[in-house]
Structure 1
Amino acid sequence: MSKQGYHHGNLRQALVEAALRLIEEKGPTGFTLSEAAKSAGVTPAAVYRHFEGREALIEEGARQGYAIFADLMEHAWADGKPSALAAFGAVGRAYLAFARRYPGHYMAMFESGISPNRVPALAPLAERAHAVMERATAALTAHLPADRRPLPAMVAAHIWAMSHGVVELYARGEPGARAPFPPDDLLETGIGVYLRGLGIIDADR
């Protein structure tokens, strides 16, 4: 990003994009505010017109990431079409797709130490993404008798943790360098084993 962004009145977003590139290259704590300013083509003093400091800059990157993430999750769920099971799988794959396509945002969201619980701007966006998984789980378990139906929030949390684990262990860095199987296959198989174990889907599916 050059100084052209500043001349067009887009300095704030230019700084966010510069920070996201640096986060992707060096990690959330591996860059300075001066480096972000230099990458955006402005002086460090100009940053303070828009952000109080580096953490505020990272928070904005995380906020934008959560908004994109929630949109992707909702698009993947697609109101449970063509079936609750197919849509549920699509939601899991959307998690991996987001981490691959938006690594800077992903790292700002999940690896910077910034928590939606203490940043008011992040909380509703993070909750929107979580709500998609809970709706998907509720739809997928609706056919079970009430006394055998697991809590949607619990199942959603387990699937979320599984998706996050696959991303962190096997979907980051050089493809195939750390896993004997494609991350998408690992996640799909793991979700299948989990859902069958709970009796949510039949053993032969």
Structure 2
Amino acid sequence: MNSKAKYHHGNLREALMEAAVQCIRENGAEKLSLRALARQIGVSQAAPYRHFEDKVALLSALASEGFAKLAEQMRDVMADYQSDPVGALQKGAQAYIRFACHHPETYRLMYSMPVEQFDDEEMETCHHEAFDLLEQTVNVGLASGAFKAHDKDAIVLASWSLVHGYAQLIIDGVIELDDIEIEKSFQSVGVIINEGIVA
């Protein structure tokens, strides 16, 4: 079903965002055009500007929604592990990777530009939510003795780099695994990182 068939009066903003993701998937963000999206959906060329001032505003809305959904999915799986920072870190990492795999276009867009280049009032808050969850978990792990006494910022950076890089390798097709294989593979990688590789 195409975007035009999905459009109904009253949900133009959502229809534009959905069509934009499809356009990004097929042609890349650089070729995104509000006027082209309007034609695709079947509305006047002026209609999109009631919701988005320009292309940057639309991209910002997509990225902001992506950051919010990522944080929400991480919170959902980490909530049951508040007293288990190791488990929380593992579950949060898995949720991060699943989000990237299921929404690769949005994920790439979220990290395609520095946050200050996006034009959205909520972007700054959304951008930090997932990172804050990671930082809070590391703080709990250090305070409880569940994590080795390394520098907190170094642990956060190492953990984020591992998960972000792993997700990027998958969505770029460098690692070809299905959902179950991805989870098993990342668990193995996590064990190696947790234990260290130096004999």
TM range (shorter): 0.7 to 0.9
**Deviation sequence 1:38-84 (CA, Å, 0-9, x none):** 23222322111221211111100111111101101111211525732
Residues 1:154 and 2:146 are matched in the alignment: no
Amino acid at match of 2:47: A
User: Offset at 1:167?
Assistant: 1.5
| Separation in 2, partners of 1:34, 1:128 | 33
Amino acid at match of 1:108: L
Check the 8 A contact 1:85/1:140 in 2, yes or no. yes
Check the 8 A contact 2:85/2:146 in 1, yes or no. no
Partner of 2:187: 188
Q: Could you state the TM-score of these two structures normalised by the residue count of structure 1?
A: 0.79
| Separation in 1, partners of 2:52, 2:126 | 20
CA RMSD of aligned residues (A): 3.1
| Separation in 1, partners of 2:74, 2:157 | 15
Partner of 2:167: 167
Check the 8 A contact 1:70/1:129 in 2, yes or no. yes
Amino acid at match of 2:192: V
Check the 8 A contact 1:16/1:57 in 2, yes or no. yes
Partner of 2:131: 130
Partner of 1:142: 143
Residues 1:5 and 2:7 are matched in the alignment: yes
Amino acid at match of 1:100: C
More displaced, 120-129 or 164-173? 164-173
| Separation in 2, partners of 1:117, 1:154 | 27
1:24/1:176 CA distance change after superposition, 3 Å:
same
Q: Could you state the TM-score of these two structures normalised by the residue count of structure 2?
A: 0.81
Check the 8 A contact 1:27/1:107 in 2, yes or no. no
Amino acid at match of 1:150: H
Number of residue pairs the alignment of both structures matches: 194
Check the 8 A contact 1:20/1:104 in 2, yes or no. yes
User: Offset at 1:141?
Assistant: 2.8
Residues 1:176 and 2:176 are matched in the alignment: yes
Residues 1:110 and 2:100 are matched in the alignment: no
1:39/1:162 CA distance change after superposition, 3 Å:
farther
- Structure 1, gaps ≥5 residues long: none
Question: Secondary structure of 1:149's partner?
Answer: coil
Percent identical among aligned pairs is 27
1:75/1:145 CA distance change after superposition, 3 Å:
closer
**Deviation sequence 1:133-185 (CA, Å, 0-9, x none):** 11222223334399x622333312221111111121224449727x9xx4434
Partner of 1:15: 16
Bigger fraction of residues in helix: 2
Check the 8 A contact 2:38/2:44 in 1, yes or no. yes
- Structure 2, gaps ≥5 residues long: none
Check the 8 A contact 1:59/1:114 in 2, yes or no. no
| Separation in 1, partners of 2:174, 2:45 | 33
1:117/1:35 CA distance change after superposition, 3 Å:
closer
Question: Secondary structure of 2:155's partner?
Answer: helix
User: Offset at 1:4?
Assistant: 6.2
Amino acid at match of 1:139: V
| Separation in 1, partners of 2:146, 2:100 | 36
Partner of 2:64: 63
